[in-house]
């Protein structure tokens, strides 16, 4: 546990040096310079540790009790940033707002009370980037499983972040001493910076900054809170979640001879529900129905190929008692965005309930490991069958019909699951990059590099050319960017984000240009027979490429 707490502390330090902490830096600088005592920055740091720990562990329960949406904290934080900026730009407004707190903020004890109050308020304004440690804390807090170990981990995480911000506050205090002669312009300047930071949050510029500048923290996370040791012990902290054990435990006396695997764990940690008018669903509330729980994500081609079968089953058996619940557990960062998922659900004609499992809480509760994965739950809430990946559609439909007690004609949807050997899924970002299938200039993580295409690309390999920035899950195109892929498949797909055009050639002959208009899966080519060739892509600067999939 001691080593895990040390990892939690380092995770907090990493958070405090990442771009997502930029919005609070002006507040910390201003707070450190506001008082005269050298101990004021330490009071701010102590208040932040205390407030962040308490608020993080209780926020989920508080928001649920008040019936508030999960983005309330971000909205309140942005409002506070604007308010604090206004107090720096208009000192009289600051006096009005501070008047109720005068006794707390101007104690004879050297202004420690005011520093502590400011630190306590930063617990709400400080919204760090979520890594494995914070994700574990958030999920357990949301599930009301707050114990001593979780409190200690949260404290150490907050202490790590506060240690860095303490240095910033000390710097602000010392800088102010040197700028006493120009203090009249110093505070308004901080107000402008703070207002700019709040405006950036409104337009999600902070997310763009994290994407462009956050690769160094990704590398640090990989060796700390995402290490094998941390993963193992964070899983232990999360404890048993009642996941599905895929070994039959009994046979139920019913019209079905399917085995019983486990009681269905349910849907936990869901941020939003689609196609339910916002109403959350529960396994208990679905008793009496046969429920197909489908884990998917909207840019996964394997998941998309299952949708025609799901649509056919929903149309044929929904009136007979079948309910499908799509658990959307994102693979890429852009798949966390509610509006992106809403657009995909509409575009893909998904009419059944969809749960947004952004924190992997339901994924973990079901002990799931696959996209797509389907679990069939009977009328009593027991898991009776499962299927991982594509292709097992006939058996899944037969199991549905058996549990519903239906006979007669089955649905008729072509099985498009590839049966021939093909190029495996290929990731382009360094987070999941396979160096054994790459030729050319050595890939560099986290900075802009001018690459040289390999003169020959072996089958299933890729090569970068021109200017690229590889970071996290993405490869972002720069000037003259090129990407070669030697594929072997019928169909080729690529996950892209951004806006612009991408020219494509196959063995030197031009194919249809791809118009990139958002973050989703794009079809490069589709044919009736397996082909083998080299595709060369020429994306416009700024286009982000994630992965290739094949059919």
pLDDT tens digits for 446-466?
Answer: 889 999 999 888 888 999 999
Query: What does the alpha-carbon distance between residue 536 and residue 546 come to, in Å, rounded to a whole number?
Result: 16
Which stretch, 208-217, 320-329, 399-408, has highest mean pLDDT? 320-329
pLDDT at 325 over 90: yes
SS percent in the chain: helix, strand, coil, step 5: 45, 20, 30
The CA angle 320-304-327, to the nearest 5 degrees, is 60
Residue 48 tokens, joined:
């932040």
Query: Which pLDDT score is estimated for 393?
Result: 81
Query: Which pLDDT score is estimated for 464?
Result: 94
Query: Which pLDDT score is estimated for 212?
Result: 43
Query: Which pLDDT score is estimated for 208?
Result: 43
Mean pLDDT of 315-327: 91
pLDDT at 109 over 50: no
Compute the Cα dihedral for 17, 21, 22, 25 and give only its sign.
negative
| Burial letters 408-442, b for 16+ CB under 10 A, else e | eebbeeeebebeeebbeebbbbbbebeeebbbbbe
pLDDT at 530 over 70: yes
Contact 446, 435 (CB under 8 A): no
- 489, 465, 490: which is closest to 479 by C-alpha? 465
Query: Which pLDDT score is estimated for 478?
Result: 92
Query: What does the alpha-carbon distance between residue 486 and residue 534 come to, in Å, rounded to a whole number?
Result: 4
Query: Which pLDDT score is estimated for 104?
Result: 45
DSSP string, 21-82: GGGGHHHHHHHHHH-SSTTHHHHHHHHHHHHHHHHHHHHHHHHHHHT--TTHHHHHHHHHHH
Query: What does the alpha-carbon distance between residue 244 and residue 370 come to, in Å, rounded to a whole number?
Result: 13
Strands 259-260 and 250-251: antiparallel
Query: Which pLDDT score is estimated for 50?
Result: 81
Mean pLDDT of 331-344: 80
Query: Which pLDDT score is estimated for 259?
Result: 78
Compute the Cα dihedral for 138, 144, 146, 147 and give only its sign.
negative
Query: What does the alpha-carbon distance between residue 171 and residue 178 come to, in Å, rounded to a whole number?
Result: 11
pLDDT at 277 over 50: yes
Locus of tokens 């594509």:
390
Query: Which pLDDT score is estimated for 430?
Result: 85
Comparing 136 with 163, the larger pLDDT belongs to 163
Mean pLDDT of 140-145: 62
Verify cis geometry, omega within 30 degrees of 0, for the bond prior to 372: yes
C-alpha R_g of the chain: 27
Q: Name the pLDDT band for 249 (thresholds 50, 70, 90).
A: low
Query: Which pLDDT score is estimated for 210?
Result: 43
Mean pLDDT of 168-182: 67
pLDDT at 127 over 60: no
Q: Name the pLDDT band for 124 (thresholds 50, 70, 90).
A: low
Query: Which pLDDT score is estimated for 476?
Result: 92
Domain segments of the chain as ranges = 2-233, 241-404, 426-550
pLDDT at 201 over 70: no
Q: Name the pLDDT band for 2 (thresholds 50, 70, 90).
A: confident
CA of residue 507 relative to chain centroid, distance: 37
CA of residue 169 relative to chain centroid, distance: 30
pLDDT at 211 over 70: no
Residue 112 exposed, middle or buried by CB count within 10 Å (0-12, 13-18, 19+):
buried
Q: CB under 8 Å to 78, separation ≥6 — which residues?
A: 198, 201, 202
The CA angle 211-212-215, to the nearest 5 degrees, is 75
- 306, 348, 357, 368: which is closest to 327 by C-alpha? 357
- 251, 272, 450, 409: which is closest to 345 by C-alpha? 272
Query: What does the alpha-carbon distance between residue 296 and residue 312 come to, in Å, rounded to a whole number?
Result: 17
pLDDT at 245 over 70: no
CA of residue 159 relative to chain centroid, distance: 24
CATH 3.40.30.10 fits 241-404, yes or no: yes
- 22, 54, 20, 35: which is closest to 168 by C-alpha? 22
Query: Which pLDDT score is estimated for 126?
Result: 63
Mean pLDDT of 145-157: 83
Comparing 100 with 184, the larger pLDDT belongs to 184
Comparing 393 with 428, the larger pLDDT belongs to 428
Mean pLDDT of 105-122: 54
Query: What does the alpha-carbon distance between residue 345 and residue 339 come to, in Å, rounded to a whole number?
Result: 10
| Burial letters 319-339, b for 16+ CB under 10 A, else e | eebbbbbbbbbbbbbbbbbee
CB atoms within 10 A of CB 351: 14
- 375, 206, 396, 188: which is closest to 295 by C-alpha? 375
Contact 30, 176 (CB under 8 A): no
For the chain, the average pLDDT equals 77
The CA angle 533-419-427, to the nearest 5 degrees, is 55
Contact 439, 331 (CB under 8 A): no
Comparing 229 with 385, the larger pLDDT belongs to 385
Residue 31 tokens, joined:
């707070």
Q: Could you tell me the end-to-end alpha-carbon distance of the chain, in angstroms, rounded to an integer?
A: 46
Query: Which pLDDT score is estimated for 118?
Result: 63
Query: Which pLDDT score is estimated for 111?
Result: 47
Query: What does the alpha-carbon distance between residue 233 and residue 111 come to, in Å, rounded to a whole number?
Result: 41
Helix (H, G, I), strand (E, B) or coil at 228: helix
Q: Name the pLDDT band for 376 (thresholds 50, 70, 90).
A: very high
Strand partners, 514: 502
pLDDT at 492 over 80: yes
Query: What does the alpha-carbon distance between residue 186 and residue 180 come to, in Å, rounded to a whole number?
Result: 9
Strands, DSSP E only, in 321-441?
322-328, 354-356, 373-377, 382-388, 426-427
- % residues pLDDT > 70 (the chain): 68
Query: Which pLDDT score is estimated for 40?
Result: 72
pLDDT at 291 over 90: yes
Query: Which pLDDT score is estimated for 192?
Result: 77
Helix (H, G, I), strand (E, B) or coil at 476: strand
Query: What does the alpha-carbon distance between residue 496 and residue 516 come to, in Å, rounded to a whole number?
Result: 7
Helix (H, G, I), strand (E, B) or coil at 417: coil
Order of strands across the sheet that contains 382-388: 262-263, 382-388, 373-377, 290-296, 322-328, 354-356, 272-274
Domain 426-550: assigned CATH number: 2.60.120.260
């Amino acid at each position: 546990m001691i080593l895990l707490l040390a990892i939690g502390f380092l995770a907090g330090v990493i958070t405090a040096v990442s771009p997502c902490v930029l919005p609070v830096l002006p507040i910390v600088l201003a707070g450190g310079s506001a008082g005269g005592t050298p101990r004021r920055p330490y009071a701010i740091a102590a208040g932040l540790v205390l407030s962040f720990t308490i608020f993080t562990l209780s926020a989920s329960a508080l928001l649920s009790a008040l019936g508030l949406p999960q983005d309330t904290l971000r909205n309140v934080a942005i409002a506070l940033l604007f308010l604090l900026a206004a107090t720096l730009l208009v000192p009289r407004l600051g006096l009005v707002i501070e008047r109720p707190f005068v006794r707390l903020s101007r104690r004879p004890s050297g202004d420690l009370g005011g520093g502590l109050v400011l630190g306590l308020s930063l617990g709400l304004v400080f919204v760090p980037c979520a890594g494995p440690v914070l994700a574990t804390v958030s999920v357990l807090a949301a599930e009301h499983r707050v114990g001593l170990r979780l409190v200690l981990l949260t404290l150490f995480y907050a202490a790590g972040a506060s240690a860095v911000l303490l240095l910033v506050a000390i710097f602000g205090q010392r800088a102010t001493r040197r700028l006493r002669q120009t203090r009249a312009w110093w505070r308004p300047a901080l107000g402008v910076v703070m207002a700019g930071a709040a405006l950036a949050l409104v337009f999600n510029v902070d997310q763009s900054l994290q994407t462009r500048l956050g690769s160094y923290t990704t590398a640090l996370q990989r060796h700390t809170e995402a290490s094998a040791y941390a993963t193992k012990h964070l899983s232990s902290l999360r404890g048993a979640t009642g996941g599905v054990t895929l070994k039959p435990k009994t046979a139920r006396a019913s019209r079905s001879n399917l085995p019983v695997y486990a009681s269905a764990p349910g849907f936990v940690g869901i941020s939003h529900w689609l196609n339910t008018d916002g109403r959350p669903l529960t396994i208990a509330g679905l008793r009496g129905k046969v429920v197909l729980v489908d884990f998917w994500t909207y840019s996964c081609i394997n998941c998309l190929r299952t949708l025609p079968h799901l649509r056919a089953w929903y149309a044929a058996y929904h009136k007979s008692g079948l309910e499908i619940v799509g658990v959307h557990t994102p693979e890429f960062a852009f798949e966390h965005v509610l509006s992106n998922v809403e657009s995909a659900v509409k575009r893909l004609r998904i009419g059944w309930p969809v749960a947004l499992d952004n924190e992997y809480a339901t994924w973990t509760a079901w002990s799931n490991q696959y996209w797509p994965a389907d679990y069939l739950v009977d009328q009593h809430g027991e898991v009776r069958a499962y299927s991982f990946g594509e292709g097992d559609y006939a058996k899944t439909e037969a199991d549905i019909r058996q549990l519903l007690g239906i006979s007669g004609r089955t649905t008729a949807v072509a099985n498009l699951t590839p049966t021939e050997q093909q190029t495996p899924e290929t990731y382009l970002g360094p987070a999941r990059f396979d160096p054994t299938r790459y030729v050319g200039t050595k890939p560099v993580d986290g900075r802009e590099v001018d690459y040289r295409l390999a003169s020959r690309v072996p089958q299933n390999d890729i090569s970068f050319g021109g200017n690229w920035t590889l970071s996290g899950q993405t490869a972002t195109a720069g000037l003259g960017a090129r990407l070669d892929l030697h594929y072997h498949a019928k169909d080729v797909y690529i996950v892209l984000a951004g806006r612009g055009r991408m020219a494509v050639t196959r063995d030197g002959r031009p194919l249809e240009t791809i118009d990139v208009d958002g973050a989703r899966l794009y079809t490069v080519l589709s044919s009736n027979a397996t082909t083998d060739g080299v595709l060369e892509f020429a994306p416009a600067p700024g286009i982000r490429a994630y992965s290739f999939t094949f059919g």
